[in-house]
Amino acid sequence: MPQRVADFFRSSTHTIEHKVSNLAKNSTASTSRGRPSTDRAAKGSRGSGRASSLNHADDLDDTPAPPYQQHTRRMSGSRTSSFSSDSTKEHGQHHHHRISFPGLHFGRSSKDTHSSSPATLDWRLESPPLVMYGDPESSTGALLSGQLFLNVREDGLEVESLNATLNIHVTQKRPFANHCADCTSQHTELKRWALLQNPLAMAKGEHSFPFSVLLEGHLPASMDNSLVSISYEFKAEAVPRGKGSAAHAPIRLDKVLDVKRSLATSETPHHSVRVFPPTNIKASAHYPQVIHPIGNYTLALRLDGIAKLNSKLNTLEYWKVKKMMWKLEETTKTIAPACERHSPKVGEGSGEQQSKKGVIRSETRIIAEKELSSGWKSNYTSSTDSTVEVELEYSLAKGAKYACDSKSRDGTEVTHQLLVEMVVAQECAPANKPSLVTHTGVGRILRMHLGTTLTERGGIGISWDNEAPPIYQDVPPSPPAYCQETVFLTEGSISDVLEPLDATPEGELPRGSTDMVVRRSSETGPR
């Protein structure tokens, strides 16, 4: 056994450079001895190119090979050792047995050589951006309309079917059962269009197919966070009919729609009051309750009751603000449903149906925050008029991944709140000498949770139902009928003064005037 280990390490020291040098020496020696016959040289060159890398360099044929075969000799030790068998010498010749692999192809795959598609699909949306105005209970939804274009490249292409679908794809990031595709993804079909009722032969060119659908107001908006992803997928498929044995693959088009929701904003700021017992501090906040992802907003905060007179000790006790911090928190709640395989049965009876089951997932994360150590105004003139005022500017962080407020029927809900934290410390001073301040070492953290709604901007757009043209009540249900009219013109009327626009020269009959009968009450003489 030690001898075998020593032989293994000794043989591993023979690198490719050593084999090449030995090959060069052997080639020089064979040249000095003389060149063998042509047949033998050809057989030797072919045999040397197929030799195994485990054989020693001295076992190679002494016949020099052409330059393009010398490179094969050098690389044969690393590429063909596993594909060639041990060679045997019979009648002074080398015979090799090669193992072939019919299924192994190093060229271009046969799938890459298929003919190009005979047609392509594209679309163009004609409706405005999909924005649902108002809350899910009162919103009328958003109108989606557009055209689907089939660009035919071959004249006389027969299309068997052309269908389009609009689905809601909900992906649970933390599903009911891990590694289960049915628990992870749920597809709900909203609309299906059969744009071709029967197979049709189409000419070369572009063919348009209109489509439209009303997205109801209770549907959720598009979102993508750490718990759930909701997307609207538009898919179209055209199935061409191949001639003879040439079968064409279906032509598909996949698009993702971005659906948003915009809630109404109030012009007046929201007012919130909070008292922090056991202290007498009262916080009054004015802030906009509805904010947008882009923009800065201001929170006006006022603290009252921060000073107190201790009549027993004749001292003034102050609460001074040391630090402030605001955070914008996003809370996502969803119900991860169970598929039919993982949903438990109600009972053992055959007549009882399988009940749906799900697990509640919840997560709270911070999408914007900031800490302040100064910037507020303090007034400690007396125990009754002492106040602290501050204006906090807050907004979403740049590049923050957010989701607007929404609530859907499947249990998915997204809410936001503004959290304001204040660190206050208590200080004491004599009533007659308020400048002699003494730190008591007592501190508190005051927190305020202010409900905030994050929504998209409505812009200048309005709901689709408000864009309908007005209805005029005075217009009759049908236009007036056209019938024969009789016009009586008297002498000295306005028709004798003004020449009509459609007048014809005297002596000629106007075109299309056979239905008009003009009668004069008296004949007029020549002027």
Domains of the chain, by residue range, sit at: 2-95, 119-262, 270-341+354-454
Q: Give me the amino acid identity at 67.
A: P
Tokens of 332: 């996502």
- 134-138, 182-186, 214-218, 434-438: least confident range: 434-438
Fold of 119-262: Immunoglobulin-like (2.60.40)
Mean pLDDT, residues 362-373: 93
Question: What pLDDT is attached to residue 288?
Answer: 94
Please, what is the average pLDDT of the chain? 75
Predicted TM-score (pTM) of this structure: 0.63
In the block, residue with structure tokens 């929170």: 299
Q: Is the pLDDT of residue 417 over 80?
A: yes
Region 242-251: what's the mean pLDDT?
Answer: 75
Average pLDDT value for residue range 38-47 = 44
Topology at the third CATH level for domain 270-341+354-454: Immunoglobulin-like (2.60.40)
Residue-level pLDDT at 42: 42
pLDDT for 509 beyond 70: no
pLDDT at 88 > cutoff 80: no
pLDDT category at 341 given cuts 50, 70, 90 is confident
| Residue of 263, 227, 296 whose CA lies nearest to 133 | 263
Q: Collapsing DSSP states into helix, strand and coil, what is residue 32?
A: helix
Condensed to tens digits (0 to 9), the pLDDT of residues 293-315 reads 998 999 999 999 888 888 788 88
Residue 504 has pLDDT above 70, yes or no: no
Report whether pLDDT(423) > 80.
yes
Cis bond before residue 278 (omega within 30° of 0)? yes
CA atoms within 13 Å, Cβ hemisphere of 324 = 21
Average pLDDT over residues 468-488: 59
Residue 381 in contact with residue 291, Cβ under 8 Å?
A: no
Mean pLDDT (whole number) for 280-305: 93
φ and ψ at 8, to 5 degrees? -65, -45
Give the integer Cα–Cα distance in Å for 514 and 523.
21
Q: pLDDT band for position 108 (50/70/90)?
A: very low
